[in-house]
Amino acid sequence: MAQLDMLNINGEKVGTVELREDIFGIEPNADLLFRYVDMQLANKRSGTASTKTRAEVRGGGRKPWAQKHLGRARAGSTRSPIFRHGGVTFGPKPRSYEKKLNKKMKRLALKSALSVRVSENNLMVLEDIKFDAPKTKTMKDIIKKIGVENKKTLFVLPKKSEEYKNVKLSARNLPKVKVLIADNPSQEKTNIDGLNVFDLINNEKVVITKAVVAKIEEVLG
């Protein structure tokens, strides 16, 4: 098993955490990481882009000029795609961009992302982090003390509670900091809180609590 130092919010070592090799130490599957991120980004798309065809554009019901004897090209409607204000040929219509991966692939992708962060020494473990009230200055001080200042950092907290919510609110105005709640590390949704592949590999540093390690091992083990 791999071991990581566990820090408190003052940046002091208070112990070590053992990480399961089958979750945090596997050979990363780059193809699966790409496919998972591709799925996440595709599923965020609204798919509402829409254009009108010549049949849907208002007007153009009357033939604009005679068929013959004018020396002009034939035309049956001013809403033909070749005319200004005409319809659009093969334009976008509302559609779903949803992509899917099976559960086994999603779990392996999460394990791969976690393993990448461990192998690069970019995964940190905190004993815990809770605030009684939102305070951005306190959050900035903690970030500085644990050594992730000026780095794009993801904080992962174990559950939804008032104290953890205050941590998230405290980081809301910090441009390089994102806070997620790991209620379900294997969830499929990308538009709500939860540990996911995109955020794991899109941030330079990942900071998780001891409780999150246990939660991840419970769900992915």
- Rounded average pLDDT over 7-19: 94
Dump the DSSP string for 22-56: HHHSSPP-HHHHHHHHHHHHHHH---------TTT
According to the model, what pLDDT value does residue 160 have? 84
According to the model, what pLDDT value does residue 184 have? 59
pLDDT, tens digit (0-9, with 9 covering 90-100), for 53-62: 999 999 999 9
Higher pLDDT, 129 or 1: 129
According to the model, what pLDDT value does residue 54 have? 96
Domain 2-44+102-220 fold is Ribosomal Protein L4; Chain: A; (3.40.1370)
- Rounded average pLDDT over 18-33: 95
According to the model, what pLDDT value does residue 191 have? 38
Would the pTM count as exceeding 0.85?
Answer: no
Is the pLDDT reported for residue 201 higher than 90?
yes
The closest of 116, 125, 142 to 208, measured between CA atoms, is 125
Q: Where are the domains of the chain?
A: 2-44+102-220, 51-91
